[in-house]
Structure 1
């Protein structure tokens, strides 16, 4: 099977870092374009159970965190590797599946769990959602 476009959703977690390394290795091996995607999940920002809301400073902080995560990963990518790095806002599962479909992604490599207790639960459900809603192969890294 040939992989021309590989998508790696990232969030700064340890499992996302592992997924990034696997994705980068595969992109280099297959001379594929690597898509790094950071999804700012508004459900984390305004979680009804926690009664937390996100103001303008919160959005700026989220954007800054996304750029920091992507910048750290981009620094590890060899020159000449084709890269598309994106920050999107929305439901992670839906954003990942939509981006995969819109860009004809050949493979998704993602972490099994995200950051923190709530995010761990959410990321677990994100990987399950993605597995059930895309046509391309998905590799889930633990």
Structure 2
């Protein structure tokens, strides 16, 4: 774990995500690592085989920007950080981003799904844990 130079922190504005941001900031200070905050607009969930209006895309973009701005505002000046916004399936996009950007670790919040919903719907955090090529820390 001494080689942690960049930490990917997927954010969505939830309480779990906020706790993950706080935890990642502490880790970044310990390891002198950079934080990459990633907001993924789940466009797949918004519309399947449909054209999204400019108004919907604009609203999704503004929501993502607000979440990212909130995460960045928590970061002390001595910690390097950057914000990114993507669209697509959150779990897949998170893993692709981590690989493309050579992140050394992923820190993310848990959705807290119940057992039945978790089995039926799947969970972004579970998918990331099972498929990531780097260490993943799930914050509750």
Cα distance between partner residues in 2 of 1:110 and 1:140? 5
1:80 positional shift: 3.0
Cα distance between partner residues in 1 of 2:137 and 2:51? 34
- The 5 A counterparts of 1:56-95 are 56-95=54-93
1:35-89 deviations in Å (ceiling 9; x for gaps): 10000001231269xxx97421111001001111111121111113111210001
Structure 1 unaligned regions, length at least 5: 115-119
Cα distance between partner residues in 2 of 1:111 and 1:78? 20
| SS across alignment from 1:113 | coil
TM-score, length of structure 2 as denominator length: 0.86
Q: Does 1:131 align with 2:132?
A: no
| SS across alignment from 2:107 | strand
- Structure-2 residue corresponding to 1:117: none
Q: Does 1:140 align with 2:128?
A: no
Structure 2 unaligned regions, length at least 5: none
Cα distance between partner residues in 2 of 1:123 and 1:23? 27
TM-score, length of structure 1 as denominator length: 0.85
Cα distance between partner residues in 2 of 1:124 and 1:8? 20
Structural RMSD (CA): 2.6
- Structure-2 residue corresponding to 1:29: 30
User: Relative to structure 1, is the Cα distance of residues 123 and 17 closer, same or farther in structure 2, using a 3 angstrom cutoff?
Assistant: farther
Cα distance between partner residues in 2 of 1:25 and 1:129? 25
Cα distance between partner residues in 1 of 2:73 and 2:132? 29
Count how many residue pairs are aligned between Structure 1 and Structure 2. 136
| SS across alignment from 1:104 | coil
